Amino acid sequence: MTKTLFITGASTGIGAATAHAAAKAGWNVALFARSRDKLDALAAEIGDQALALPGDATSYDDQAQAMQKTVDHFGRLDAAFANAGRGLDTPGTEAGDPEEWRSLVDLNIMGLLYTAKAAIPHLKPHKGSIVLTGSAAGRRHLKGSIYGASKWFVHGYAGNLAEEMREWGGRCTVIAPGMVDTPFFSEAKPDKLKPEDVADAVMHALQADPRNTVLEIHLFPTN
């Protein structure tokens, strides 16, 4: 039985690398992000194992409809990767922009909750998994980081969701990367983690024996 993974933020960076890794491991992948052109190109590279589903993660309806299309197309959903996220142009509380905070909360917190809520009814029959992209910034205090605080939410929620999913044999993992060389940053970070490193961690959690819930993977560039 071919398993299916739904990925938010699949158009670039960690999400796109995870799509490649999962397809290589034999999974079908449903690719969700706003950039239709990038999703179509990625789906064409991967082939029949991929389905491009353009949508906005800050809309519960967009995510719920995309998951239903995933199940209609591939027949089932075994895992969801809530990975879409953004940073802030203006850091700190004193200098920060409340409207920018709202956009961040809508995506990094509400969008992630929507992924989990929309996925659970499909995952439950297969004792499926949810993986959340947290961050090293969600494990330690960084001066004025509201982005980091949104990832503290992800880490706190991940443990609580793991407890909720355990009741029906489901598993939840939070992945906490340090700096990764992705379009998240405007300049390249060639000596930091590659998105493929994070994809490996996601696949480790998803492919662990069902008796084993991998609660958290924290990975960091060696330098």
Ligand X SMILES: NC(=O)c1ccc[n+]([C@@H]2O[C@H](COP(=O)([O-])OP(=O)(O)OC[C@H]3O[C@@H](n4cnc5c(N)ncnc54)[C@H](OP(=O)(O)O)[C@@H]3O)[C@@H](O)[C@H]2O)c1
Binding of residue 84 to ligand X (CB under 6 A):
yes
DSSP classification of residue 111 = I
In sequence order, the β-bridge partners of residue 53 are 32
Task: Collapse the DSSP code of 160 into the 3-class scheme (helix H, G, I; strand E, B; otherwise coil) and give the result.
Answer: helix
Task: Collapse the DSSP code of 208 into the 3-class scheme (helix H, G, I; strand E, B; otherwise coil) and give the result.
Answer: coil
List, edge to edge, every strand of the sheet that includes 4-8. Answer: 50-54, 28-33, 4-8, 79-82, 129-133, 171-177, 216-219
Stretch of 52-60, 73-81, 160-168, 206-214 contacting ligand X, by CB under 6 A: 52-60
Residues 129 to 158: which contact ligand X by CB under 6 A? 133, 135
Residues 166 to 205: which contact ligand X by CB under 6 A? 177, 179-180, 182-184, 195
- Please identify, using beta-carbon distances, which residue of 75 and 191 lies nearer to ligand X: 191
- Please identify, using beta-carbon distances, which residue of 142 and 208 lies nearer to ligand X: 142
DSSP classification of residue 92 = S
Binding of residue 83 to ligand X (CB under 6 A):
yes
Q: Residue 60 catalytic?
A: no
Amino acid at 161: L
CB 123 within 8 A of CB 77: yes
Residue 102, φ and ψ in degrees, nearest 5: -60, -45
CB of 125 to ligand X, least distance (A): 26
Binding of residue 11 to ligand X (CB under 6 A):
yes
Binding of residue 159 to ligand X (CB under 6 A):
no
CB of 152 to ligand X, least distance (A): 12
Q: Are strands 171-177 and 216-219 parallel, antiparallel or unpaired?
A: parallel
* Rounded Cα gap, residues 153 and 23, in angstroms: 30
Q: Residue count at the site for ligand X (CB under 6 A)?
A: 29
CB of 38 to ligand X, least distance (A): 6
Catalytic residue set: 147
Interface residues with ligand X (CB under 6 A) are 8-15, 33-35, 38, 56-58, 83-86, 107, 133, 135, 177, 179-180, 182-184, 195
